[in-house]
Homo-oligomer: A and B are copies of this chain.
Amino acid sequence: MLPRPEHPVIQVEYPDWTDSVVDWSRSYGSDEERMRLAIAISRANVERRTGGPFGAAIFEAPSGRVVSIGMNSVVRYQNCTLHAEMVAFMMAQRRVGSFTLNTPHLAAHELFTSCEPCAMCLGATLWSGVRRVVYGAAREDASRLKFEEGPVFPESYKYLEDRGLTIVRNVLREDARAVMDLYRVQGGKVYNG
């Protein structure tokens, strides 16, 4: 059958540089090590010109094993939903075969993201089943680059915390910001600007 324009097919895969940045077999122990991976992903995404300066990774909390990663893929796939965190959620859930990472047969999962999540990603965080969110750069750092974060308020975080999620802020913030600066210097596209 011929493909019909009314029936598009969405397909999302990692870019080809993934395995040069992630060690799928090792244990990432500390918060700093885990954040370093998220930032390395954001940097590779900029250097390889596969997307915006945002990277994420989902870990099994106790083992430190990487379950999935995410990199901003909005321009690569012409798809506004493919922020780094969203790619990481989709890939993790596909890998474990569950629409939530918060189920009795799975260890606790946590999201590390190089930048504070936008409104969409914060909402998805709640549905994803991760129990802890650690971010690097802050909303203001993204705004400085004219990336918008959307309707996120202090109550938004409280809403998540009331449901048992832990939020940790500004881990290796300067390193995460440095990648945003690189993106700007490189003339990268600010697609929501």
Instruction: List residues of chain A with CB under 8 Å of any chain B CB.
Output: 5-14, 18, 22, 24, 68, 74-75, 77-81, 86, 89-91, 93-95, 97-100, 118-124, 126-129, 148, 150-151, 153, 155-156, 159-160, 191-192
Contact = CB atoms under 8 A, between A and B. Distances in A.
A10 B8 contact: no
Contact of A122 (B14, B119, B129, B148): B119
A150 B127 CA distance: 9
B156 A119 contact: yes
Copies held by the complex? 2
Given A7-B14, A78-B93, A81-B89, A151 B127 contact: no
11 contacts: A75-B99, A80-B93, A80-B129, A81-B124, A99-B191, A119-B122, A120-B122, A120-B123, A120-B124, A123-B123, A151-B155
Contact of A127 (B9, B160, B192): B192
Contacts of A153: 151, 153, 155-156
B9 A13 contact: yes
Given A79-B93, A81-B127, A119-B119, A7 B12 contact: no
A131 to B, nearest CB: 14
A72 to B, nearest CB: 11
Contacts of A14: 7
A11 B8 contact: no
